[in-house]
Amino acid sequence: MSVRLREALREAAADVPAYPVHDRAVRTARRTRLRTAAVAAVVLAMTATVPLAVRGGGGGPAAPADAGGAALPDRLGLPPLGALRATDRPRLGPASVVFSGQARGLTGLTDEDGTVGIVAADADRYRNWTVGVEVPAGEGVLLSPDGRRLAVPDRSGFRPGINLIDLVTGTTRHLPSPRAGSSMTDPAGWAPDGSALVVRDTTPANPEVSAHLNTLSLLRIDTGRAVRLLETTQVPVFGTPVAFTADGSRLAYQVGDKVLVSGVDGRQISSFALPAESALAGKGAWLPDGSLALVGRDPATDRWRLSRVDVEGRALPAPALPAVSGVTAIRLLGWQADGSAWVVAYQPEPNMPFVPTSGLEIDQRTWYGHVRSIRVLGLSPGAAEPTMLLTAPDQVLAIDVADAVVHAGRVREAHPPSGLGGRVWWGLALAVLALAGVAAFRLSRRRARRGRRLSPGRARRG
C-alpha cells in the first residue's frame, strides 16, 4: 500500500464517528438490572396478594370479622391442599367453627388425625392447626366464646399445659399446667367472658405409674393463677366440656355418673347422680332460668331428648323440643332467645361392627370409630322435627361452635373453598421469583461478557 493511500484511509477513518461500545454496554447492564428489579417487585407483590385472592387460602380481608356478622355456615368443606395455618398472614380474625376428624386435610401419615380445620366467623376463609394427636374439636380442642382464641393441649412432651392460638393477632401463648407433676393437660371449658379456662390434668399417683390422679382446675388467663375444683382417682374421668352459667359465677361438670356444681372459688354447691342413659347435655347445659339440661336416650325408641333438672338433680318440666333419632349421641351447644336449642348430632358409622345401644358413656358414643359425620341441628319449641343448620362431609367427626355464633342464631349460605390453598400459591410465587432471578442473573452475565469482548480498544483496532 502506498504512503498516499494509507494517509487517505487514515483521514477517512478519522471522519467516521466511533461506536461507543463501552457506554452502550453499561447502559444495557443498567436496563437489565432495572428489568430484574421490576420482575422481582411484581413477583413479590403476587406473593403478598395470592392468599387474599385465592379462595382456598381465605379470600377475604385481613381485618378481624365484625362480631355482628358472625354466623354459622350451612355446610362445611375440607381444608384445601396447602391451606394457610391459623397464624399465617393475612390474619383470619374470629372463627365461627372448628372441626376435626379423619377426612382429607385433617389427617396425615404421622399426626394421628391431629389437624383441626377452622372457618372464619363471617366468610368461608379456611385455616388449619396441627395438634399432633387425635383430640376431637369440642371435647379437647375448644374455641373461645367470642371465636378469637383456640385452646389446644400442648403435646410436645417438654412442658405440660395449654396452647392458646389468637386468631386475630396470630400469636401463640403457652399456659403452663397448674398441677405439679402433670403428665397431660387438656382444656375442658371456657368461662363466658374468655377470662378463664377450666383444664383437666392427669398426674401419676405412684412411682410405678400404675394409677393416676385426675384434677380439674379453673385457670385465670391473665395471671396464671388456678383454683382447684376437684381431684379424684375415679374412672371414668371428667366428661367434657364443662358448662358455665351465663354470668360465669357457677359451673357444672360430669364425673362418671354424677354431675357436680361448683362456684368459681372451688366451693362445691351440689352434686347428684344422673339417671340411666343420660349425661350433662354439653357446654350449653345451663338454661337462662338457672336449671340444667341433661341429654338422654330413650331405649324404647332410640331417640335422644333434652330434659331439665334443678341444681339438686330434681326433675323439672322438660322443654317442648323435638327428639333426635338415628344418631349415636347429641351435645348441646347453647340456647336462643326464643327457647330454641342448637345441638351437635353424631351420625353413626354403618360399617362398624356391632355397637351396643346401651351402656356406653357419652364420650364413648362420640368416638371417631362410632361416627360417620356430624350435623348441627336446631330444636325449636313445638316443632315436630329438628331443623338442619349445618352439614359436613363424611369423616368430619367433631365440631365446636363459638358461643357468639350460637347466641346470634344466624346461619349463612356457605361456599367452601376448592382448589389449592394459600401455602401452595406462596410456594409457586417464590419458585417463580427464584427462576426469574436466576434468568436475569444469567442474562446480565452474558451481556457483560459480550460488552467486554467489544471493548473500546478492540473496536478501534477493528
- Give the CA angle between residues 151, 153, 155 to the nearest 5°: 150
Q: What is the pLDDT of residues 246-261, one digit of tens each?
A: 999 999 999 989 999 9
Convert the pLDDT of each residue in 11-33 to its tens digit: 665 665 554 555 655 565 566 55
Confidence band (pLDDT; 50, 70, 90) for 54? very low
- Residue 280 shares a structural domain with residue 355: yes
Residue 317 backbone phi and psi in degrees, to 5: -55, 130
Same domain, 243 and 286: yes
pLDDT at residue 457 is higher than 60? no
CA distance 291 to 343: 18
> Is 230 inside a domain boundary?
yes
Closest to 131 in 3D by CA, of 90, 179, 207, 185: 185
Count the residues in the chain.
462
Q: What is the pLDDT of residue 23?
A: 60
Percentage of the chain with pLDDT > 70? 74
Predicted local confidence at residue 428, as pLDDT = 57
Residue 381 has pLDDT above 70, yes or no: yes
459: pLDDT strictly greater than 70: no
What is the average pLDDT across 238-242? 77
Please tell me the predicted confidence (pLDDT) of residue 218.
98
Same domain, 143 and 237: yes
| pLDDT tens-digit map of 299-335 | 999 999 999 999 999 999 999 999 999 999 999 999 9
Helix (H) or strand (E) holding 162: strand 161-166
- How far, CA to CA in Å, does 155 sit from each of 65, 99, 183, 185, 225? 30, 19, 10, 9, 22
Same domain, 423 and 313: no
Helix (H, G, I), strand (E, B) or coil at 69: helix
What residue numbers bound the domain in which 111 lies? 59-416
Domain assignment of residue 26, yes or no: no
Whether residue 47 is found in the same domain as residue 110: no
Question: Domain check: are 269 and 303 in the same one?
Answer: yes
> Which residue would you say has higher pLDDT here, 389 or 156?
389
Least confident of 212-216, 377-381, 399-403, 437-441: 437-441
Give the residue, 454 or 406, on which the prediction is more confident. Answer: 406
pLDDT at 363: 78
Q: Are residues 145 and 182 in the same domain?
A: yes
Q: What is the CATH number of the domain that holds 351?
A: 2.120.10.30
Cβ pair 177, 102 in contact under 8 A: no
Task: Give the tens place of pLDDT for each residue, 86-127.
Answer: 999 999 999 999 999 999 999 865 556 789 999 999 999 999
Q: What is the mean pLDDT of residues 239-251?
A: 92
For residue 13, being part of any structural domain is answered with no
C-alpha cell at 250: 357457677
pLDDT at 418 over 90: no
Residues 307 and 351 in one domain: yes
Q: Are 220 and 365 in a shared domain?
A: yes
pLDDT, one tens digit per residue, over 341-370 is 999 999 999 887 655 656 677 878 899 999
- How many Å apart are CA 45 and CA 39, to the nearest integer? 10
Number of domains in the chain: 2
Place of cell 372459688: 265
**Same domain for 150 and 242?**
yes
Residues 333 and 346 in one domain: yes
